[in-house]
Amino acid sequence: MPAIIFDCDGVLADTERFGHLIAFNQTFRELGLPIQWSEADYAIKLKIAGGKERMASILNPEFVKQLDLPTDSSAQKTLISNWHKIKTEIYMEMVTKDKLPGRPGIVRLVKEAIDAGWKLAVASTSAEQSVRAVLENVVGASQSAQFEIFAGDIVSHKKPAADIYLLALKHLKMSTNEALVIEDSRNGLLAAVSAGLRCIITLSSYTKNEDMSEAIMVLSDLGEHGAPMQIMENRSNVNLSSFLTLKDFEACLLT
């Protein structure tokens, strides 16, 4: 059976703007760090894949000297890891309190795919525990148990490198012609296409102005009955309607 591989942040839920940014800033406050990212700041940080890597970007020489932080790379790595654990705890508390609703069409499509026997996976640069929390919150415990999860530091090179998608294909025992990816960012899109996979984009808060020219289609979301999706680009041979269905995914695999 074919597979759908979802990104997490921005695809399952609009977590970057309403989750991760808030969690990062709360972490900085709790640690007493003189930094708060604005939405514009965070849009730039999102070009860096991975939460630890985004945190590490603040450790410029001036900032390190100002706060008397360690200059040794190993000590800095440990410091960032500890900071990120705090951030993850804050973020997961937000998720479990249902503050991050799923994006349109996700629950509907997942149910269709499970009923049809399709394989499902999530491939994300976020921490695995965060991904599992978001997934379960969006689709429920029973349906989330049907997913394979590939997340966090499971690969050495994060998106836009193809590593995580190549790993997913290997574990799923699938060829590139048997799986479709849903992403929301250019980094994710490049990772998918570099792995030889077809990619559908559902734009999120921070990715609306990114170049998505390699995607087979670019949509506002997956759409719902009574809440149609917007179609920005359609480079497939699929005749799209108001929401994306599993039959559309099947047709995409033949594109």
Residue-wise pLDDT for 144-187, tens only, equals 999 999 998 899 999 999 999 999 999 999 999 999 999 999 99
Residue 140 backbone class (left: φ over 0; alpha: ψ -120 to 50; beta: rest): left
**Is it the case that residue 255 has pLDDT exceeding 80?**
no
Lowest pLDDT segment from 13-17, 72-76, 162-166, 167-171: 13-17
Residues catalogued as catalytic: 7, 9
CA atoms within 13 A of residue 187's CA, in its CB half-sphere: 23
Residue 233: predicted pLDDT: 97
**Is it the case that residue 98 has pLDDT exceeding 80?**
no
Nearest Cα to Cα of residue 87 among 20, 153, 34: 20
Global pTM reads 0.85
Residue 101 per-residue DSSP state: P
Q: What residues does 32 pair with on adjacent strands? A: none
Distance CA(72)–CA(94), nearest Å, equals 33
Residue 99: predicted pLDDT: 65
What Cα–Cα distance (Å) separates residue 156 from each residue in 47, 101, 113, 161, 227? 17, 31, 30, 9, 40
The answer to whether the CB of 99 falls within 8 A of the CB of 117 is no
**Is it the case that residue 125 has pLDDT exceeding 90?**
no
Q: Which two tokens stand for residue 48?
A: 């860096």
Q: What is the mean pLDDT of the chain?
A: 94
